[in-house]
Amino acid sequence: MERLRDLWRHRALVGVLVAREMKARYRGSVLGFFWSLLNPLLMLAVYTLVFQLLLPNRSPSTTPYALFLFCGLLPWNWLSASITDASSSLLTHGALLRKILFPAEVLPAVAVLAQGVHFLLALPVLLAALVAGALGAFGTPVPLGWALLQVPVLMLLQAALLFGTGLFLSALTVHFRDVKDLLQTVLSVLFFATPILYTLKDLPKGGVTGLLAWNPLAPLFAAWQDALFYGRFAPLSTWGAATAVSLVALAAGWSFFHRLRDSFAEAV
Amino acid sequence: MRSPVAVEARDLSKVYRRWGRSRSFGSLKSALLGRGLGKALEPSETVQALSGVSFDVKRGETFGVIGANGSGKSTLLKLVAGLFKPTSGTLRVDGKVSALIELGAGFHPEISGRENVVINGVMLGLTRREIERKLPSIVEFSGLSGFIDEPVKTYSSGMYVRLGFAVAVHVDPEVLVVDEVLAVGDEAFARRCLDTIKEFSARGKTIFFVSHSLVLVEEICDRVLYLSGGRSAGLGDPREMLAAYRLDVSAGEGTRLLAEHAAGQEALRGETAAATPGSPPEEAGGEAAPAPAERARRWGDRSATIDEVRLLGSEGGERYSFRTGEAVTVEISASPARPLSDFVFGIGLFTPEDVCIHGSNTEIDGLEPAVFDGPARVRLTIARCDLGPGTYLLDVAVHARNGTPYDYWRGACRFRVDSARTEAGIWAPERSWATEGGVSWTRT
């Protein structure tokens, strides 16, 4: 608990470091922060081209597919980039841990939040796409309304999940550098195992599909689909499961990280 | 009322893990189980960096730590700075600590100096408001006002360190931990850093100072801890500790030189057969600072042969480490190939840069050769070796009066001279100061 208070005390540090990541990332590029906006826009354009013209989607529940995919991919990109950055954050900033008294838990938090800012900057593009979708720009009009109110809560849940996972993986990476290599494979398997390219309801019943429902990321991403694409409130069971997963990840990551904490300065 | 002790260390030990044979699971497991790293490991997998070190640093004191490389100085520093946890023992540090271990650690190369100052300040525990207030003074102190808005990647290493130091001293800690940081940056800045540290001390702050610069330690420290091999080898008055350390260093150096001398003589004895008679080999001359092994050369027609050269201390024992002002005896063992009536024994004393300090021989010193018809030992005693601290080389020769070398041995001996004082130069004469009128001193 005291550690949690410490983290709150370090919010100024987290703040300046997130700002630094942003500044450093776009230093020297002409468009600067616009890239955070432009990248999702280009991504949407490519999907539209591919899935409206080249590979028309056959499943009515995920039409228009370009928009459907976009709604799942934005949170996923935040997730995968955060976890990649966070897991190597202690190693990347090893000098800080070795040379100055630095609160280590700040580093995974900065990785998650910096990627979160990119997600935030992409939200206006998403909103514009959803409005265009509601007006029928992608063919079948999509519903749009109060369901978007779920977005901030989902972001909070996802941030907690990412911070917990980031804490766990960053601490583990200090002792096993293998994590970094393994992680990319695990993330690409998870990408296909999580409802992003499809909805759970559309999958054939039984067998492997049953297993996919147990994927801890499934409730959160089902909720994202409900909130963004289907314009409806996710069922309570989904909310419950997603909240439980986030809290468990946060608690487990936190306690694992703090047990290993004293070993960081020597092992990085 | 606050405790008068700022840092209290009791029986501190630190064990590191060897990384050669990796046993990640072992260290992960021991860390997870809440034991110190290293406890679960075999003795062969660990390194004992500190063992049983105890000391108190009083509030407002400037406390120095000296010792050779690997004596545990840096480990102790990191323990006091709170970066590492001791394996056993207790350490209590009272008050906010700022560590000048690596200046500018955490600067991001892509963003400007100004932005880095703000971030670095927050990292070191200041609030944004405090930094904004101190920013002009930090920039002024660093002397980088013209470059403060340039990305840090364009800075030279000196500029980098100056900015890092400027931030660190503005954190205004109660305990300042200083590593070997003053070695970087130019003379003026080093002076300024030193003044800042002294000013800290004058304001009653506690300073924990680790350095190889003994002069600096003597200048600023109130008390000194001397570490040797991870253990405390002494704690007290800087002058005494530095003298103890210097003597240990020269004793260690003496042992090494003795072994080196034996090996060198052995090697050259083997070379004797192959030596060119008559003239010195070409590469022997004109080298700026040849390594002892390269500099050691021998030539001559071997009408007489030098069998051995030894240096003896005033107590009569063989050694190659002396203190300024001590008596030194050069002992030359030589034997003639046939009875000789024309012979001169000589020595030459050189610095490693090949500057001749002294050269003399039996002829210069007024000794007329009479007979040399069997193995003999010749001893030359220099009553006072008034050399400054350093390493010196000795040439030894037996030659004819007209200069024809019988056996000329360059670099036959290498020895060290150490001084309890830190005078400069190669000559350290016995000296005294006197005064008349309105000047007086007290002797320290």
**A168-194, pLDDT tens digit by residue?**
999 999 988 888 889 999 999 999 999
B279 part of a folded domain = no
Nearest CA in chain B to A258: B32
Residue B287, domain member (yes or no): no
Mean pLDDT of A66-72: 90
Q: How far is A17 from chain B (nearest CA, A)?
A: 7
Nearest residue, CB atoms, A263 vs list B37, B111, B115: B37
Strand (E) or helix (H) holding A118: helix A106-134
CB contact under 8 A, B28 and A175: yes
Domains contained in chain B, number: 2
Q: What angle do CA B3, B8, B10 make, to 5 degrees?
A: 140
**B382 shares a domain with B242:** no
B147 shares a domain with B11? yes
Structure tokens at B65: 């730590």
Q: Say which of B17, B28, B99 has its CB closest to residue A100.
A: B99
Q: Are B268 and B409 in contact (CB under 8 A)?
A: yes
- The minimal CB distance from A101 to the residues B31, B32, B81 is found for B81
**Residue of B16, B31, B83 with shortest CB distance to A101:** B83
Residue B358 lies in a domain: yes
Burial A179-207 (b: 16+ CB within 10 A, else e): beeebeeeeeebbeebbbebbbeeeeeee
Model confidence at A195: pLDDT above 50: yes
Please indicate whether, in this complex, the C-beta atoms of B128 and A27 are within 8 angstroms of each other. Answer: no
More confident residue, A242 or A1: A242
Q: Distance from A87 to chain B by nearest Cα, in Å? A: 16
Tell me the pairing of strands B5-17 and B321-323.
Answer: unpaired
Closest residue, chain A, to B81 (C-alpha): A101
How far from each other are the two terminal CA atoms of chain B, in whole angstroms?
Answer: 35
Of B31, B97, B151, the CB nearest to A27: B151
The mean per-residue pLDDT over the stretch A91-117 comes to 89
Q: Point out the residue among B31, B99, B127 whose CB comes nearest to the CB of A12.
A: B127
Question: At which of B246, B262, B288 does a domain end?
Answer: B246
What CA–CA distance (Å, rounded) separates B98 from B91? 16
Shortest CA distance to B122 belongs to which of A127, A102, A162, A87? A102
In a domain, B430, yes or no: no
B37 touches chain A (CB under 8 A): yes
Q: How far apart are CA B231 and CA A6, in angstroms?
A: 36
In 3-state terms, what secondary structure has residue B139? helix
pLDDT score of B291 = 43
In the predicted model, is pLDDT for residue A2 greater than 70?
A: no
CB distance from B96 to chain A under 8 Å?
no
Residues B110 and B13 reside in one and the same domain: yes
Among B37, B105, B111, select the one facing A20 at the smallest CB separation.
Answer: B111
8 Å CB contact of A260 and B85: no
CATH number of B224's domain: 3.40.50.300
| pLDDT tens per residue across span B116-174 | 898 888 888 888 888 889 999 999 988 888 899 998 889 888 888 888 888 888 887 88
Q: Are residues B231 and B300 in the same domain?
A: no
Q: Cβ of B53 under 8 Å from any chain A Cβ?
A: no
Q: Which residues in chain B show pLDDT less than 70?
A: 1-2, 19-44, 181-185, 267-296
CA atoms of B129 and B137, how far apart (whole Å):
14
The whole-angstrom separation of Cα A141 and Cα A135 is 6
* Length of chain B in terms of residues written: 444
User: What's the Cα-to-Cα distance from A153 to each of A34, A82, A160, A206, B216, rounded to whole Å?
Assistant: 26, 18, 11, 32, 59
Task: Give the sign of the dihedral formed by CA B79, CA B85, CA B89, CA B95.
Answer: positive
Q: Apex CA B385: angle with CA B379 and CA B389, to 5°?
A: 130
Distances from the Cα of B252 to the Cα of B247, B256, B257, B260, angstroms: 9, 6, 9, 12
B/e letters for B148-170, b = 16+ CB within 10 Å, e = fewer, are beebbeebeeebbbbbbbbbbbb
Residues B218 and B314 grouped into a single domain? no
Cβ-Cβ contacts under 8 Å, B102 against chain A: 95, 99-100
Q: What is the domain range of residue B209? A: 5-246
Judgement on whether residues B150 and B92 belong to the same structural domain of the protein: yes
Nearest-Cα distance to chain B for A173, in Å, is: 11
Residue B235 included in any domain: yes
The pair of structure tokens assigned to A116 is: 């979160």
CA A64 to chain centre: 23
Per-residue pLDDT, B25: 61
Residue of B83, B119, B174 to mutate, testing the A interface (most A Cβ within 10 Å of its Cβ): B83
CATH code of B326's domain: 2.70.50.60
How close does chain A come to B162, measured CA to CA in Å? 17
Q: Are residues B301 and B207 in the same domain?
A: no
At B34 the pLDDT is 56
Chain A nearest-CA distance from B198, in A, is: 22
Contacts of A27 in chain B (CB under 8 A): 110-111, 151
> Could you identify the residue written with the tokens 């040439």?
B395
Give me the phi and psi of A5, to 5 degrees please. -65, -40
Contact A99 B105 (CB under 8 A): yes
Is B435 within a domain?
no
* Nearest-CB residue to A266 (from B84, B123, B124): B84
What residues in A contact B106, CB-CB < 8 Å? 93, 95-96, 99-100, 102
CB contact under 8 A, A23 and B102: no
pTM of the model: 0.71
Q: What local confidence, expressed as pLDDT, does residue B283 receive?
A: 40
Contact A245, A163 (CB under 8 A): no
Q: Closest-CA residue in chain B for A28?
A: B110
Cβ neighbours for A113, distance < 8 A, ≥ 6 positions apart: A14, A18, A159
Query: Residues B309, B376: one domain?
Result: yes
Both B340 and B206 in one domain: the answer is no
B58 lies in the same domain as B203: yes
Judged by a CB distance cut-off of 8 A, whether residue B17 touches chain A is yes
Phi, psi (deg, nearest 5) at residue A28: 90, -10
Predicted confidence at residue B279, as pLDDT, reads: 46
Using a CB-CB cut-off of 8 Å, the residues of chain A touching B127 are 12
Chain A contact for B425 (CB, 8 A cutoff): no
Tell me the residue type at A93: H
Closest residue in A to B107 (Cα) is: A96
Residues of A in contact with B27 (CB under 8 A): 175, 263, 267
Q: Which residues of chain B neighbour A24 with C-beta distances below 8 Å? A: 108, 110-111
B212 and B145 assigned to the same domain: yes
Which of B15, B24, B132, B154 best tests the A interface by mutation, with the highest count of A CBs <10 A?
B24
From the list B16, B99, B111, the residue facing A101 with the nearest CB is B99
The verdict on a CB contact (< 8 Å) between B16 and A98 is: no
C-alpha dist (Å) from residue A102 to A93, A109, B65, B82, B134: 10, 13, 24, 10, 21
The residue whose two tokens read 């040379």 is A99
Would you say A110 and A163 are in contact if contact means Cβ atoms under 8 Å apart?
no
Q: What is the mean pLDDT of chain A?
A: 88
d(CA B15, CA B24): 16
Mutate which: B19, B32, B152, vs A, most A CBs within 10 A: B32
Nearest by CB to B115, which of A20, A96, A175? A20
Does the N-terminal peptide bond of residue A64 adopt cis geometry, omega within 30 degrees of 0?
yes
In sequence order, what E strands does B229-324 have? 231-236, 297-299, 304-312, 321-323
Please tell me whether residues B135 and B235 are part of one structural domain: yes
SS3 category, B64: strand
Q: Is residue B325 part of a domain?
A: yes
Chains A & B: contacts with CB separation below 8 Å: 84
**E strand or H helix at A197:** none
Q: How far is CA B178 from CA A99, B63, B98, B220, in A?
A: 12, 10, 9, 12
Q: Is B417 on the interface with A (CB under 8 A)?
A: no
How many whole angstroms separate alpha carbon A131 and alpha carbon B71? Answer: 69
In the numeric block, which tokens belong to residue B30? Answer: 């021991």
A17 vs B119: CB contact, 8 Å cut-off?
yes
